[in-house]
Chains A and B, each alone.
Chain A
Amino acid sequence: DAKTTQPPSMDCAEGRAANLPCNHSTISGNEYVYWYRQIHSQGPQYIIHGLKNNETNEMASLIITEDRKSSTLILPHATLRDTAVYYCIVRVAQGGSEKLVFGKGTKLTVNP
């Protein structure tokens, strides 16, 4: 089962910051949080990941709470092309292998 909880949908105005929350209260100390997005029926696209510290790249910022039980993905200046389903995922490690277990994600709609 997915270890994350996200709101099913959110709206954001074009040019504004989009803040997508995620709860992962059962996360273990060595499990990473990943964010992916899926536009239409394309393959999921990697956005960012983190363990403890906040992370930033050219696409987004990831803010992880100190207790690691929740995180927020920030798209600083949302555009219409950012309309997609965003998945917050905890990478599960099992023995010598590991995998991503997806939840249902948040459908973000960026409005003009």
Chain B
Amino acid sequence: GQQVMQIPQYQHVQEGEDFTTYCNSSTTLSNIQWYKQRPGGHPVFLIQLVKSGEVKKQKRLTFQFGEAKKNSSLHITATQTTDVGTYFCAGRNFDKLSFGAGTTVTVRA
């Protein structure tokens, strides 16, 4: 079955630094979505990527969808304490959305 792998599982970042989380699928995806879940909260939709090679930006967040539509990345620049939480990618193949394990981000001031 479809599997979505996400690395790293944990990311401890110095405030102001950049980091990237990566997502890889065993199958070609029709689209990929990114969610953020704050501690104790529920997943909140961030963005959806559909096209091969697509790049989208939201302020300090840059999302990229691979040419083969099997991988994606989220890059955050100048990390702030508000970036704390777990970032999930979710890949869609046909009608099924499969979530990666998530990258839990902590920030040290």
The answer to whether A and B belong to the same complex is no
* Residues of chain B whose beta carbon lies under 8 Å from any beta carbon of chain A: none
* Residues of chain A whose beta carbon lies under 8 Å from any beta carbon of chain B: none
